Chains A and B, each alone.
Chain A
Amino acid sequence: MNLEFSPEEQAFRDEVRAFIAENYPSDISGSGLRDDLSPEDMVAWHKILGEKGWSVPAWPVEYGGTGWTPTQRYIWSEENARVNAIMPLPFGVSMVGPVIYTFGSDAQKEQHLPGIRSGDVWWCQGYSEPGAGSDLASLKTTAVRDGDHYVINGQKTWTTLAQHADWGFFLCRTDPDAAKPQEGISFILVDMNTPGIEVRPIKLIDGGYEVNETWLTDVRVPVENRVGEENMGWTYAKFLLAHERSGIAGVARSKRAVAQLREIAKSEMLDDKPLMQDFDFARKVSQLEIDLAALEMTELRTLAGEQAGKGPGPESSILKIKGTEIQQRLTELTLEAVGHYGTPCYRDLADAGSNEYPIGPDYAHGSAATYFNMRKTSIYGGSNEIQRNIISKMILGL
């Protein structure tokens, strides 16, 4: 047992750091507000990594993965967080990609995996519906066989960044008479340019547009776009959710955010002293940092377990719960730190196009919006209550 990097791992870190320094497009820095960025900016780093062969590190080598050890993957995410890099979006790389290489046909692998690796094809996720959130299996969107096509009808919601998507993966009910709601669902890949698909933006409480309603009306999709077997989609959906959770801890990002928070609190004043010297505030930051250390070690233990051959299991629910709680507390403390200058609606100021009189320090911009936005993290990807249900059932056996 040890926490040291081996000489090989140190060399790997140097190589990765040098590559990022040379190749990361420095004009695009990470922002909490995704819709500040153009679609091109969002995939710029993905495309560079695709050419390097580093866009899908966690995939099996035969499908383009890097074969890195968990420690190397940890180093990779740390080094990217150092420059606040905009990482490849998860919908292709971490969600549908693993489903396709695990359950898909050879034709599907050939058609879709290259575009996911390169970043040329933008994916979105059609899971949630207005009436199916935590109770995902109650979804009502139907796919009815008509010759060698499915005809899809229904409404999906919270389809993140679907406004830019080329393809989507949808859960649809293919057997309305199945004995249990989990049975009778199929996992279908849909070209978002197919007639009958309408994507309508939803404005969120932070003022941004990152999610959509997606309406499907008589959308005709070839049967060969179904992944795996008909009516077995729930199995693939659960597999995907476990994969989605494993990267969700966001440790490297949160470490960077704690450092930023400390810097902000050194600039802000309280009782004529830097806020960081205030006992109550400093204590909250220390508690956050300690909780983050516990999360980091727990993630490293989970990664080590994966290296020993265990796939992402129900333990990843711990990472989801704790990782999102920490992200939320971080944004809450950052908003607290900036004081009065959390109040202005900077987005409206930017939209008005006037920056003649800059308002407040730069670091205050977006602090409230980011805090509002991050409330989503304990709701999406299986709400934190659902994660507790998973641990209760799968680990505690209750």
Chain B
Amino acid sequence: MDFNFTDEQTMVRDSLARLVRENYDFDTRRSVIEGDAGWRPEIWAQLAELGLLGMPFSEADGGFGGGAIDSMIVMEEFGKGLVVEPYVPTVVCAGGFFTHAGTDAQKAEHIGGIVDGSRVYAFAYAEPRGRYDLFDLETTAKRDGDGYVLNGHKAVVIAAPWASHLIVTARTSGERRDKDGITVFVVDKSSEGITTRDYPTVDGRRASEIYFENVAVPGDAVIGQEGNGLALIELVTDEAIAAQCAEACGAMKVAQEMTVDYSQQRKQFGTPIGKFQVLQHRMVDMFVEYEQSISMAYLATLRLGEDHRERKIAVSSAKVKIGQAAHHVGQEAIQIHGGMGMTDELAIGHYFKRLTIFDSEFGNVDHHMKRHMALVAEQ
């Protein structure tokens, strides 16, 4: 058992913290997310240049031989700065699919494009009716000669406006909620038949509704086995959850510290409000929630390599605990900031909004509680 980061990991953390501090102050971020593009490709290029986009990939695949722990470190720092650039959709999700199931040719093309920063991916898994069930798919992919034809509607695809490519889950056989018959595709977003409606999200990112209308894709667009994709999708989704848990921890830490700072400056009844025990204990509870969340982000990350059951129990436990903590810390932060917490000009509200939306990504507290209940009942 070992809870230490390697020297290399510590260095990465420090350089990331500096990058976020120097490039992601609150005002800069606000003008970026309100701008036309909504993100900064030059930051992405900088991340590629620093080697951060290649960190979790094996050296054989063109990366730097790290893994999920490196993604955890990256996302915790990104969470502190509310970084919007699409590390999870591109590096963790797309990268994860190719790492686990890509052919040599797919790895060379796609992981290569991720590592050098030339390609951005979005993960189109959610559908309007499917809620959080990854197998509840109405999007279809029908065999057509050597290739497939995609039809369907993918919902709230985070980072899709910035993406060159999409990872799409679709049904190659069976009924809407069957667990078999699911296949993963990589699709060039400029393919004919794809239309998108792009929009901002409440937490400062961008997303799209994506409509596929007779989109023809070649046979080598399939990642992994046709019809057998659910286990792969669950694995990659769990990896994405672990990374986003770390992001939520970073955001919670800042929200908690900002709240303590504010309580020491804001005076009412002639005294800093941080002197009131009723508020002190509430801020302590925020801190305790944050500490337990970090513990759970570690647990989820370190259990990703375990067999299905152990991995899923750990990831769902983390998503439940951190989902609850994210709501708690966000709400308390606003309350203790008082009226100022309601204003757009203070950073705290932006942390609150990111922490709120974290819960509904890749399954909320209730969804993962049910998954936990089902898994422990299997014993």
Contacts and interface: CB of A to CB of B under 8 A. Distances in A.
B264 interface: yes
- Scoring A6, A322, A392 by chain B CB atoms within 10 A of each residue's CB, the highest score goes to A392
A290 B2 contact: no
Contact of A398 (B69, B260, B377): B260
Given A282-B373, A282-B377, A304-B3, A3 B302 contact: yes
B284 A294 contact: no
Contact of A283 (B284, B321, B373): B373
Given A71-B1, A322-B288, A388-B280, A396 B299 contact: no
A6 B320 CA distance: 30
A103 interface: no
Interface in A59-117: 71, 74
Interface in A291-313: 291, 293-295, 297-298, 300-301, 304, 308
Contacts of B13: none
A224 interface: no
Contacts of A295: 292
B280 A297 contact: no
Interface in B251-299: 260, 263-264, 274-275, 277, 280-281, 283-285, 287-288, 291-296, 298-299
Chain B CB count within 10 A is highest, among A277, A289, A388, A396, for A396
A26 to B, nearest CB: 26
Contacts of B373: 279, 282-283, 286
Interface string B1-19: 1111100000000000000
Nearest to A384: B281
Nearest to B263: A398
A301 B296 contact: no
Most buried by B among A3, A5, A398: A398
B1 A300 contact: yes
Q: Describe B's contact surface by its main secondary structure.
A: helix
A398 B274 contact: yes
A328 B314 CA distance: 24
B356 interface: no
B280 A286 contact: no
A293 B264 contact: no
Contact of A391 (B284, B293, B314, B369): B284
Contact of A286 (B2, B264, B295, B376): B376
A360 to B, nearest CB: 26
Pick the most buried of B284, B291, B293, B369: most chain A CB atoms within 10 A of its CB.
B284
A235 interface: no
A3 B283 contact: no
B320 A304 contact: no
A153 to B, nearest CB: 34
Interface string A354-398: 000000000000000000000000000000010011011001111
Interface in A324-338: none
A287 interface: yes
Contacts of B320: 286-287, 290
B131 interface: no
A290 B321 contact: yes
Nearest to B264: A398
A193 interface: no
B367 interface: no
Best-buried of A1, A295, A321, A389 by chain B (most CB within 10 Å): A1
Interface in B9-33: none
Contacts, number: 115
Nearest to A258: B376
A348 interface: no
B303 interface: yes
Contacts of A385: 281
B4 A304 contact: yes
Given A290-B321, A396-B260, A297 B287 contact: no
Given A321-B288, A391-B288, A301 B377 contact: no
Contacts of A276: 377
Given A283-B369, A294-B296, A4 B1 contact: yes
Given A1-B298, A9-B1, A294-B295, A389 B321 contact: no
Interface residues of B, number: 38
Nearest to B368: A290
Contact of B69 (A1, A6, A9, A279): A1
B93 to A, nearest CB: 22
B69 A397 contact: no
Nearest to B366: A283
A2 interface: yes
A3 B299 CA distance: 8
Contacts of B263: 398
A162 interface: no
Given A295-B292, A297-B295, A318-B288, A2 B260 contact: no
Contacts of A388: 280-281, 284-285
A262 B379 CA distance: 11
Contacts of A298: 291-292, 295
Contacts of A282: 373, 377
Interface in B302-331: 302-303, 314, 317, 320-321
A9 B277 CA distance: 44
A5 B293 CA distance: 23
Nearest to B286: A396
B4 A1 contact: yes
B299 A297 contact: yes
A396 B281 CA distance: 11
Contacts of A397: 260
Nearest to A2: B2
A388 B320 CA distance: 24
A93 B179 CA distance: 55
6 contacts: A74-B1, A282-B377, A290-B369, A297-B296, A318-B291, A397-B260
Pick the 3 closest A-B CB pairs, nearest first: A297-B295, A304-B3, A294-B292
Given A2-B302, A5-B1, A297-B299, 20 more contacts: A2-B1, A3-B303, A71-B1, A74-B1, A276-B377, A279-B373, A282-B377, A286-B369, A286-B373, A286-B376, A289-B372, A290-B317, A290-B320, A293-B299, A294-B295, A297-B296, A298-B291, A298-B292, A304-B3, A392-B281
